[in-house]
Amino acid sequence: MIFQFTAPPLPHYMICGEDTYQEGDRHPDRYNIGVFDLILVTRGELFLEENGASYSVKAGYHLILRPDAAHRTYLPCQEETHFYWLHFQTVGPWMEAEERIPFALSQSDHPYVQFDNFSFYIPKYGELSSKAQAGRLIEQLQLLQESPSSAARWKQQQLMHELLLLFQAEDEGIQQQHPHYAIAERTASYLRTHYKEPVSYQQLSDAMHFHQNYISICMKKTFGCTPLEFLTRHRIEQAKRLLIHTNEPIGRIAEESGFGSFPYFIRCFVRYTGFKPKSFRLKYRSSR
C-alpha cells in the first residue's frame, strides 16, 4: 500500500518523539486521532493492526498509520523495542491505494492555476534503506522542539520535507517494478519541452522508443489522459500565462503556445477554460 499526496500544499510537521518498550508492553490502541502517525523501529519489534490489516514492524521498518482509522496492538512486545514516532498532517488531498492513482490535471480559468501541482507517494509500510538518516532527521526535529522561536518552527518544516524525500526515494525504487510510470513521466517531460512544435504520435513513439498505444496506456494510468490531451492542456496553460502577462496579439499567442491553427486554438481555449481568449485577458487585465 502507498499514500498519495497532492501538493501544494505539502504535508506539515506537528510533533515527534521516541519510546522504548519493555517485553510485554503494548502500543496504545487509538481511533481517529486526526494526524498521520509515522513509526520507525530501530530495535525490537512492534505488532500493530489497522482496520484489520496486521503489520510486524521490525528494526529498520516503518509504518504510517492513517489519521482517520483505528489501530491497535495485536501482540505485546517480545523484547525491548525502541522506535521513533512522528505526527504530521496535510490540508491537501490524499488517498491510500494499492498502486498509483492517475493524477488529475487541473482544469480552471484561473491565470495561476499552473502551480505545478504534483503527486508524490510514500510507502505505507516496509524496510527503509536510509533508516539511519531518517533517525538523525527525527532527532534534529526533537531538538528543535525545545526552542520557542519561529525560526525553529520553519526549520522543522524543512527537515520534515527532507524526511519525505527519503520516503519518496524509497518509492522510486518501487516504481522500477512498474515501468509505465517512468514512461509516462518521460513522455510528459518531452511534451512540456516540445509543446511549441507539432507533435505527432509517430514522433512521440520514435522519441520514447515505444509503440504509441503503449505510451497512451502509460499516460492514462499515470495522468488520467492521453498524450494529446496532456499536450493540449499544457499549451492552454502557456497561452493563459501569455494572455495575462504580455500584450502579444492573440494570434501570435496561439502560435507561441504551439497551436498551428487559430480556430483550433479558440475552440480548445473555450473548451478548457469556458472563455474566449480575449474575454479571459480582459477578466484579469485592468483597463488603463
Convert the pLDDT of each residue in 162-220 to its tens digit.
999 888 766 555 555 567 878 888 899 999 999 999 999 999 999 999 999 999 998 88
Q: Are 4 and 100 in contact (CB under 8 A)?
A: yes
b or e along 190-217 (b: 16 or more beta carbons within 10 Å of the residue's beta carbon)? bbeeebeeebeeeebbeebebebeebbb
Residues 62 and 155 in one domain: yes
Q: Are 86 and 38 in contact (CB under 8 A)?
A: yes
Confidence class of residue 71 from pLDDT cuts 50, 70 and 90? Answer: very high
Checking if the pLDDT of 105 tops 70, the result is no
Checking if the pLDDT of 259 tops 70, the result is yes
Cell (9 digits) for 83 = 522506535
Quote the pLDDT of residue 98: 72
Quote the pLDDT of residue 29: 93
Residues 44 and 92 in one domain: yes
Residues of the domain holding 45? 2-174
Out of 52-61, 90-99, 248-257, which region has the weakest mean confidence (pLDDT)? 90-99
What is the domain-level CATH number for residue 31? Answer: 2.60.120.280
Instruction: Give the span between the Cα atoms of 204 and 191, in whole angstroms.
Output: 9
Residues 73 and 211 in one domain: no
Checking if the pLDDT of 54 tops 60, the result is yes
Quote the pLDDT of residue 129: 85
DSSP state of 75: E
Instruction: Give the span between the Cα atoms of 171 and 62, in whole angstroms.
Output: 13
Residues 189 and 168 in one domain: no
Q: Are 81 and 43 in contact (CB under 8 A)?
A: yes
Q: Which of 189, 199, 197, 188 is nearest to 256 (CA)?
A: 197
> Among 143, 174, 205, where does a domain finish?
174
Residues 56 and 73 in one domain: yes
Distance from the first to the final alpha carbon of the chain: 55
What is the domain-level CATH number for residue 251? Answer: 1.10.10.60
Q: Which of 251, 231, 222 is nearest to 118 (CA)?
A: 222
> Among 139, 174, 209, where does a domain finish?
174
Residues 6+ apart with CB under 8 A from 46: 21, 27, 39, 56, 57, 63, 73, 77, 81, 83
Domain count, the chain: 2
> Among 174, 189, 219, where does a domain finish?
174
Residues 192 and 121 in one domain: no
CA dihedral 182, 186, 191, 197 (to 10 degrees): -150
Residues 166 and 188 in one domain: no
Out of 1-10, 44-53, 135-144, 182-191, which region has the weakest mean confidence (pLDDT)? 1-10
pTM of the complete model: 0.68
Instruction: Give the span between the Cα atoms of 258 and 198, in whole angstroms.
Output: 7
Instruction: Give the span between the Cα atoms of 173 and 176, in whole angstroms.
Output: 6
